[in-house]
Amino acid sequence: MNKILFIQTAFLGDVILATSAIAEAKRLFPQAEIDVVVKKGNESLLQNNPHLSNTLVFDKGSGKFKEILRLRKFFLTRNYDIVFNFHRFGSSGILTILSGAKKKYGFKKNPFSFLFSKSFEHEIGNGKHEVERNLSMLKEFGAAAIAKPELYPSEKSFDKVSAYKTRPYICMAPASVWFTKQLPEHKWIELINKQEEDLQIFLIGGPTDHELCQQIIDHSSHKNFQNLAGKLNLLDSAALMKDAKRNFVNDSGPLHIASAVNAPVTAFFCSTVPSFGFGPLSDDSEIKEVKNLECRPCGLHGHKTCPKGHFKCGEIEL
């Protein structure tokens, strides 16, 4: 195997979880050149990854057809031996077919899987982790059944966050794209108020999360906290989370960042459940959830509001 292509054009967390398979492919085929296609905005996650030759960006905003043709032109220069497509939707299926790879592997849920060389089951809800589902495509080559994802913050990232590591600290990532996957604001305030007074607390997230983080800080009684939302990029955040006493996260991207640097983590699952296969993989990991709710889970992904109007799944005991 000389040249391998991976495709994962879904969300941030999906890209992080795909790194387990990328690392396994490099272990199995150390001389191979490995490329990956990701959605625009997620390419920064793969900076410094020693297993990759090329990180290719699929910019859907520029027009899918135009981007598919642009990427196909590059693919044809590479002469791939195999492509592994972890994305289950049409555009990635087209990229798989047009990759020119001798073998084309992907999930049966992809609408173009009938054109793949080999397709695989993608069953959600049976407790199998997404990493295991991905690695099933590499099983015939000797891949491990499960492996941690990997991120590689640069020395610059570690230097940037070193100023925050002057005393014991924890990180909290209170935001999520979906309201029902997000521990309620009052529970984050309760969690902060439970922490020891001399412990430093950092609230992290993207620029759009800054306001939520500030509201939580403004209504808490703890004195040692700092709102870093929007001030750190993804790999900076990974460098900070790595040495935290604990990281508190939702079922969202920061959970997988913690797994990728094997950081201690407590993950809150509100409307979703760990059996979907997106739980933490850190050695020191904990899941908190409200069990035995008839309405939970209410879907594979979160919702903008609770379908029942009560959001009882958010009232997790801390």
Q: How many CB atoms lie within 10 A of CB 99?
A: 24
For domain 3-141, say whether CATH 3.40.50.2000 is its number. Answer: yes
The predicted structure's pLDDT at residue 295? 97
User: Domain residue spans in the chain?
Assistant: 3-141, 156-314
Thinking of the domain 156-314, which architecture would CATH place it in? 3-Layer(aba) Sandwich (3.40)
Mean pLDDT by 10 residues, the chain (318 residues): 97 97 98 98 97 96 91 97 97 97 98 98 94 98 97 98 97 96 98 95 97 96 95 98 98 97 98 97 98 94 94 97
The predicted structure's pLDDT at residue 300? 87
DSSP reduced 3-state for 164? coil
Say how many CA atoms lie within 13 Å of 205 toward its Cβ.
22
In whole angstroms, how far apart are CA 318 and each of 90, 194, 286, 293?
A: 41, 9, 12, 17
The predicted structure's pLDDT at residue 313? 98
The predicted structure's pLDDT at residue 62? 86
Q: Which residue is associated with the tokens 């054109």?
A: 115
The predicted structure's pLDDT at residue 71? 97
The predicted structure's pLDDT at residue 119? 98
